[in-house]
Amino acid sequence: MKTGLSIRWKLLFALLFMSLPSLILIGYQMRMGHGAFEVVIPALLVIAAGIIIYSYFVFSLTRRLNNVAVALQEVSQGNLTIDNIKVGSKDDIGMLEETLARMLKEWRSIINQMKSISMQVAASAEELTASAEATSTATEHVATAMQQVASGTETQAHTLDEVTKVLDDMAISIQNIAQNMSVISSESVDTTKQAELGNQSMLKVVGQMDSITASAKDSNEAVKRLYDQSKEINTILDVITDIAAQTNLLALNAAIEAARAGEHGRGFAVVAEEVRKLAEQSGASAQQIANLISQIQGETAQSVEAMNQVQKEVDAGGTAVHEAEENFRAIIESMKQITAQIQELSASSEEVSAGFEELTGSSTEISRISKETAASTQSVAASAEETLASMEETTSSAMSLSKMAHELQEIADRFQV
């Protein structure tokens, strides 16, 4: 690389150029006849003194500029550890030296801060990357769980719709039972009065009682089969089953008493048979709803002790029919008790009917809430998927940030501070 004349030589040539007029003046004086001693010697002394003084300032100036040049060359190579720059005076070069020293100090501070910040940014970026990856994994699990919950909620809502339909049918059956129980209550009062005149017709009841006994045995077998297929049932179904069993028993007893009453009790026997059929229908509907509720509440249970008791009562009733003439007065008293029980059952049937209507409304509301929950859960799952996508973008950005921080740290490491 070619370089020009240094500042030192340029200043020296300038000094010689400035001395040229003095040399010309000396030559002119000598031509005018002046002696060399009188002209040349003083002039040369003056020039020599000027050269010495000028050289001192020139060499001082160039030395300071050379120090600045060396320092700048070191800085260009990344060396910021230079601390030998001293301000010689307050002239222009002194300002340059002071500015260079201050610049080096500021650069050292900036590079140190940049190294520290780049290390912190790199560490934070790595932590952010790890956190984002963990959050992405957790969000993915949440999205999967929400989808499973939404699917389960939709299935539950569908099942509740089926339960609601069966409850509606049961409510209609219970209302019919309540209406028929009211009719039975009225008829039982008349039957009690007619029973006092039916003593002559008791022999006709024997054959009918045998048929009723066989039907009761068939009913008992059906209830036992129902017991083998079920485990547990909720409180409402227990009440319905008990009411159906009691109604059937009362219907049988009422049919017996109607048979004892003879022709006067035939209308009551028809109503009692209808009540018995409704009671059997209620039992079948209760089994249907038990099968549906088992999907939500688990296995259900139903006791057959009541039907066993019914069978015992029917057997006892058969014996009582054969001994009807001896026990007819007791039957009249029993009819009075049955009338009171029927009235109680009528009131209970009305309460159960109201309870079924409330249960149907609650089931409908639960179904509606389940559908809303399913929709909300699906929305949450969609939001979780969106969050997962955002976290993946965050992870990518954090990795890019970590890479840039390492690159920045490598750049900062090029400088020696």
DSSP secondary structure of 125-157: HHHHHHHHHHHHHHHHHHHHHHHHHHHHHHHHH
Is a pLDDT exceeding 60 seen at residue 377?
Answer: yes
Q: What is the pLDDT of residue 244?
A: 73
Token pair of 7 as six digits = 């500042």
Place of tokens 């790595």: 126
CB 219 within 8 A of CB 165: no
Is a pLDDT exceeding 70 seen at residue 109?
Answer: yes
Q: What is the mean pLDDT of residues 39-46?
A: 61
The whole-angstrom separation of Cα 135 and Cα 211 is: 75
Is a pLDDT exceeding 70 seen at residue 391?
Answer: no
Q: What is the pLDDT of residue 32?
A: 62
* Percent of the chain surpassing pLDDT 90: 0
C-alpha closest to that of 203 among 33, 322, 375, 54: 322
Per DSSP, the residues of 239-276 read HHHHHHHHHHHHHHHHHHHHHHHGGGGHHHHHHHHHHH
C-alpha closest to that of 155 among 354, 374, 344, 355: 374
Give the pLDDT band (50/70/90) at residue 282.
Answer: confident
C-alpha closest to that of 300 among 371, 386, 237: 237
Q: What is the mean pLDDT of residues 226-231?
A: 50
Q: What is the pLDDT of residue 303?
A: 42
Token pair of 2 as six digits = 């070619």
Give the pLDDT band (50/70/90) at residue 361.
Answer: low
CB 223 within 8 A of CB 244: no
Give the pLDDT band (50/70/90) at residue 261.
Answer: confident
CA distances from 133 to 147, 356, 394 (A): 21, 53, 9
Residue 29 corresponds to which amino acid? Q
DSSP 8-class letter at 91: S
Q: What is the mean pLDDT of residues 18-40?
A: 57
**Least confident among 66-80, 302-316, 371-385:** 302-316
Q: What is the pLDDT of residues 392-402, one digit of tens each?
A: 666 666 666 66
Please name the residues in contact with 203: beta carbons below 8 A apart, sequence gap of 6 or more: none
Is a pLDDT exceeding 60 seen at residue 258?
Answer: yes
Q: What is the pLDDT of residues 151-201, one digit of tens each?
A: 666 666 666 667 667 666 666 766 676 666 666 666 666 666 665 665 566
CB 314 within 8 A of CB 252: yes
Place of tokens 């389940």: 370
Q: What is the pLDDT of residues 132-147, one digit of tens each?
A: 666 666 666 666 666 6
CA 192 to chain centre: 67
Residue 199 corresponds to which amino acid? N
The whole-angstrom separation of Cα 321 and Cα 209 is: 7
Where are the domains positioned within the chain?
A: 1-61, 146-385
The whole-angstrom separation of Cα 110 and Cα 102 is: 12
Give the pLDDT band (50/70/90) at residue 300.
Answer: very low
The whole-angstrom separation of Cα 243 and Cα 249 is: 10
Q: What is the pLDDT of residue 248?
A: 74
Give the pLDDT band (50/70/90) at residue 249.
Answer: confident
For residue 356, count other CB atoms closer than 10 A to its CB: 20
For residue 178, count other CB atoms closer than 10 A to its CB: 20
Q: What is the mean pLDDT of residues 220-247?
A: 61
**Least confident among 64-73, 102-111, 219-228, 397-406:** 219-228
Q: What is the pLDDT of residue 12?
A: 60
Query: What is the number of helices (H) and of strands (E) in the chain?
Result: 8, 0
C-alpha closest to that of 120 among 132, 128, 131: 128
Q: What is the pLDDT of residue 253?
A: 79
Q: What is the pLDDT of residue 102?
A: 76
CA distances from 290 to 1, 174, 235, 277 (A): 103, 16, 11, 20
Please name the residues in contact with 133: beta carbons below 8 A apart, sequence gap of 6 or more: 395
Residue predicted with more confidence, 228 or 242: 242
CB 246 within 8 A of CB 345: yes
The whole-angstrom separation of Cα 217 and Cα 358 is: 35
Residue predicted with more confidence, 245 or 361: 245
Question: How high does pLDDT run on average in the chain?
Answer: 64
Residue predicted with more confidence, 330 or 260: 260
Is a pLDDT exceeding 50 seen at residue 297?
Answer: no
Q: Is 234 helix (H, G, I), strand (E, B) or coil?
A: coil
pTM of the model: 0.32
Phi and psi, residue 301, nearest 5°: -135, 150
**Least confident among 272-281, 345-354, 406-415:** 406-415
Give the pLDDT band (50/70/90) at residue 1.
Answer: very low
CB 356 within 8 A of CB 164: no
